[in-house]
Structure 1
Amino acid sequence: MAASPLETVLTRDRLLVAASLAGLCLVSWLFLVHLALQMEAMDGMAGRMMGMDVEDALSARLAAAMGPAAAALADAAVNFTLVTLMWAVMMVGMMLPSAAPTILLFAALERKRAAEGRIGGRTAAFVAGYLAIWSVFSIVAAAAQTVLAHAGLVSMHLAATSTMLAGAIFIAAGLYELTPLKDRCLTHCRSPIEWLPRHIRPGRLGALRMGVEHGAYCVGCCWVLMLLLFVGGVMNLIWVAALAAIVLVQKLLPGGPILSRFTGAALVACGFALLAVPLLPV
């Protein structure tokens, strides 16, 4: 039996949403690989994220036009913007795979609404809500990175220079995995089929708000795990992929909450092991 025109359109829409999510994730990872390769090429130059020669030329022109103080402020603003961009792209690459089932489920619900003549374009607004809350987290993470870098607590590869700091981050991340807040956020992330119908809001603005709210649970579930990037290195792609895999398994696979408990215990143990390193006899 041939598919109706409506079924054909809905199938095409489903494939478009899935392909868009996959493409966005792929572009994010390619950008991260590009940044990682640039950092390797700049291995003897501290404190830059990308475009070293371009930034130096820009700084020189700014200093000539604005004066040293204003130029330094503008250069710091540019660097902070680039670091924020890096974190935002990394969040998309790490979090989008685990958020994709929720987005696809929302899109499926919207296809039914569209068949009933409801307003369209809400799936894009829902995804924009996710991106907005992830961007807010990226700004906070970029600020933390800037402070740690200025204090000399992270290297140019953006990994902790102190085993004490690394141990403390491991312990904090592990303890958070065992908290009720983690459980609550993980439950909402793992049960979108229950969350979405209870929080449906009309219009594109309502869909945007839904994306922000569910994205907040996404960040609440994983934000302390993201701090582990300061231990293994923000641009250590193997470390980034490993953390993304933990997030994916916790949110999507059976036994995710149990894995969260084991992850927390393992992180706490690793943290105490790192704190014990300076105390060991040489």
Structure 2
Amino acid sequence: MRPGNLLPAREMTVAWSLMLVLALLAWLLVVGQADDTGVGPGTMGLGLPLFLLLWVIMTIAMMFPSVAPVAVTWARAIGRQSSGAARAARIAQFAGGYLIAWAAFGLVVYGILTATGDLVDSHPETGRWIGAGAFLLAGLHQFTPLKNLCLRHCRSPVGQLVRYAGYRPGARDLRVGAHHGLYCVGCCWALMIVLVPLGTMNIAAMAGLAVVIFIEKLWRLGPVFSAVVGVVFLVLAVLAPFQSWLLPGLEHSGPSMQPMT
């Protein structure tokens, strides 16, 4: 890539920093909301629109630190042809497309939480098996071809970004972000499913998963680390039916969820 295609170092730093600031602000919002709720089963009284809003904020908090390098790399690819304001708008479209992909997965999570919440309400003893199944699914997914394929893309997206340059200009950046977001969902969906037993608003669990996702994608030994995480989840799957403390998201406790303000 020729130097003319690169953003100035100052603008690259601004783009990187902005995404990290957005992630920090999202964490502050999530932590503030978590103060008003316990960790329990189901959707904790949230309707679908409010749940999706909270899910998108959670996605920004957990995913933007690891997706920032991809957004900045895309900014490098488009840097020569646009003004600073236009580049900012295009990066915003990339981020918007990325969040659309995760919001679509949020619909699936909402359905899972509704079903598991109803089941635990009527048959509390099933919670331990739901938790074991979630940990087992997450552990096995760490070793699947889909995980490996999507993780390779997330770790080295440059080749795919070159292909994106061939997209038609109309809504290209939105489509690029959504396409990358789908790879990210394919890489991380099972990790997010463990929030069902650990609790959707479990801040410690969210922070731990965010660290796992960041290391998987950015550390040079990320694939090895991913396998280790898979083994840990398989161990948790064996322990879950006998250790209720591993399943705070499948037990009724704490105050009811209050709508976000």
Shorter-chain TM band: 0.7 to 0.9
- Which of 120, 124, 138 is 1:152 aligned to? 120
Normalised by the size of structure 2, how large is the TM-score?
0.80
Give the match for residue 173 of structure 1. Answer: 138
Aligned mates of 2:9, 2:19 — CA distance in 1:
16
Aligned residues: 232
Equivalent residue of 2:22, what SS?
A: helix
Larger Rg, first or second structure (1 or 2): 1
Give the match for residue 106 of structure 2. Answer: 138
Cα distance, 1:256 vs structure 2: 0.6
Cα distance, 1:11 vs structure 2: 4.6
1:36 aligns with 2:34: yes
CA RMSD of aligned residues (A): 2.8
**Structure 1 stretch displaced more, 16-25 or 26-35:** 16-25
Query: Is the Cα–Cα contact under 8 Å of residues 119 and 126 in structure 2 kept in the other structure?
Result: no
Give the match for residue 180 of structure 2. Answer: 214
- Which of 171, 179, 186 is 1:205 aligned to? 171
Give the match for residue 253 of structure 1. Answer: 219
> Mind listing any 5+ residue stretches in structure 2 that lack a counterpart?
245-261
What percentage of aligned pairs have identical amino acids?
32
Q: Give deviations 1:149-205, integer Å, cap 9, x for gaps.
A: 222269xxxxx9722111111111101110001000000000022221123224251
Equivalent residue of 1:48, what SS?
A: coil
Aligned mates of 1:20, 1:169 — CA distance in 2:
34
Cα distance, 1:28 vs structure 2: 1.0
Aligned mates of 1:87, 1:167 — CA distance in 2:
23
Equivalent residue of 2:201, what SS?
A: coil
Residue 27 of structure 1 aligns with an amino acid whose one-letter code is L
Equivalent residue of 2:35, what SS?
A: helix
Identify if the C-alpha distance between structure 1 residues 204 and 93 changes in structure 2 by more than 3 Å, giving closer, same or farther.
Answer: farther
Query: Is the Cα–Cα contact under 8 Å of residues 120 and 127 in structure 2 kept in the other structure?
Result: no
Cα distance, 1:109 vs structure 2: 1.6
Identify if the C-alpha distance between structure 1 residues 235 and 274 changes in structure 2 by more than 3 Å, giving closer, same or farther.
Answer: same
- Which of 64, 71, 95 is 2:63 aligned to? 95
Identify if the C-alpha distance between structure 1 residues 269 and 148 changes in structure 2 by more than 3 Å, giving closer, same or farther.
Answer: same
If asked which structure has higher relative contact order (CA below 8 Å, sep 6+), I would say 2
- Which of 13, 16, 23 is 1:25 aligned to? 23
Query: Is the Cα–Cα contact under 8 Å of residues 97 and 176 in structure 2 kept in the other structure?
Result: yes
Cα distance, 1:12 vs structure 2: 4.9
Query: Is the Cα–Cα contact under 8 Å of residues 80 and 146 in structure 1 kept in the other structure?
Result: no
- Which of 126, 134, 138 is 2:94 aligned to? 126
Aligned mates of 1:25, 1:277 — CA distance in 2:
33
Normalised by the size of structure 1, how large is the TM-score?
0.74
